Amino acid sequence: MIAYVTVGADDIQRAKSFYAAFLPALGYSLTEGADGLSFALPVPEGQRALFPDFYVKPTFDGQPASAGNGAMVAFEAETQAQVRNLHAAALAAGGTDEGAPGFRAAYGPRFYVGYLRDPQGNKIALFSSNPKEPGRDG
């Protein structure tokens, strides 16, 4: 099980603006500290977390943060409309488009996805594969 994912950021306030534009809509709460941003989904008392926390932090070695080549973090939305809305909100909050929301021929017929880069260059996917919504073929 993945416990957490961390991405580096040189400008925490820019990163906060970007991630706060869509993660709270997916149920994540934000905790800020001297060491950066921590986004987490609620965990019922007495239970273990089922989904990983997401951290945005300055680098530990003090060198500039950089995006991993081939690395990407994907967040699941409930609907295709939510993917579109959150993709637009993230763009308005300083992200850059890496692929507009839609179906991709290379993926399953229900995998609806939009791709972004955060202000630091980290690749982010927002997707929905809701079986109650129309798929690519219908």
Question: Per-residue pLDDT tens for 9-30?
Answer: 999 999 999 999 999 999 999 9
All structural domains of the chain with their residue ranges: 4-59+71-128
User: pLDDT at residue 111 above 80?
Assistant: yes
Give whole-number Cα distances, 95 to 57, 115, 137, in Å. Answer: 17, 10, 30
132: left (phi over 0), alpha (psi -120 to 50) or beta: alpha
Residue type, 108: G
Across the chain, mean pLDDT equals: 95
pLDDT digits (tens, 9 = 90+) for 27-74: 999 999 999 999 999 999 999 988 999 999 999 999 999 998 889 999
User: pLDDT at residue 138 above 90?
Assistant: no
pLDDT at 79: 98
User: pLDDT at residue 1 above 80?
Assistant: no
* The architecture CATH gives domain 4-59+71-128: Roll (3.10)
Take residue 8 and report the two structure tokens written for it. 């580096």
Take residue 10 and report the two structure tokens written for it. 């040189």
Give every strand in the sheet of 36-40, ordered side by side.
Answer: 4-8, 53-57, 36-40, 29-33
pLDDT at 44: 92
Do residues 26 and 77 touch, judged by C-beta distance below 8 A?
A: yes
pLDDT at 101: 98
pLDDT digits (tens, 9 = 90+) for 72-89: 999 999 999 999 999 999
pLDDT at 2: 85
For 24, list phi and psi in degrees, rounded to 5: -60, -35
Closest C-alpha to 10, from 124, 137, 119 = 119
Confidence of residue 137 (pLDDT cuts 50, 70, 90): confident
